[in-house]
Amino acid sequence: MPTITAPCQHALYAAVDSAAAARGMTVPALIRSCLTLVGPEALTHLPDPGSPEPVDVSHRTVTLKNGGTRRVRVVPKLRVRHATPLDAATVRKAAWVAATIGNDDGAHLITAGELNAVESEMSRCRLRLEQLTAALETLAFRPLRQPIRKPWQATYVLGFTHEWGLDPQVVNSRFRTLAPIFHPDTGLLSSAERMSQLLEARNFLLQHLRS
């Protein structure tokens, strides 16, 4: 069974060392227990706690067999024996889970029933999002096939019934409401064409109101 060595930050090593001592275990035994319990695959989507930073590196002087001395670089390292090859990031993730499990801001284990409830709620949210997207698509303006040259075209694009009583503040407010919906990169109904016409309609109305 190979031994995997994972350089880590002092804060992570101190946390897992404290957790192991509280359980009467060694650090390698605690990490191995975590890997056995949750499996390396379950750690895939967790962020890597990180390799050592410059502040984690220290140096010490060691005595050589010939009586001389040498200054060596020292970094915190996690070591664990595992039946299958693991990368350093996975070992650090397992150490973080082992050190923080049960903490308010740490890792948590959930039951199959809790997992099913979460998946059910996610399915409900996905369905609701699909319904809202369909409703928005139905209510959204149909892009005009010609440039905006008249006030009624601009008010149509921005969702106003007419131009009377509008002022720049109202026009800009409506634009800020609609723009996130049609933004081509992040919008729920992403559309470069609609976004372009929103900009055109806002600019036209603002100029029209000033004239």
pLDDT in tens, 64-102: 888 888 888 889 999 999 888 899 999 999 999 999 987
Q: What is the pLDDT of residues 25-38, one digit of tens each?
A: 999 999 999 999 88
Residue owning tokens 């001389």: 68
- DSSP SS3 for 188: coil
Domains and CATH numbers, the chain: 3-114 (no CATH), 124-210 (1.10.287)
C-alpha 114/C-alpha 169 separation (Å) is 48
Q: What is the pLDDT of residues 4-26, one digit of tens each?
A: 999 999 999 999 999 999 999 99
DSSP 3-state helix, strand, coil percentages of the chain (rounded to 5)? Answer: 55, 10, 35
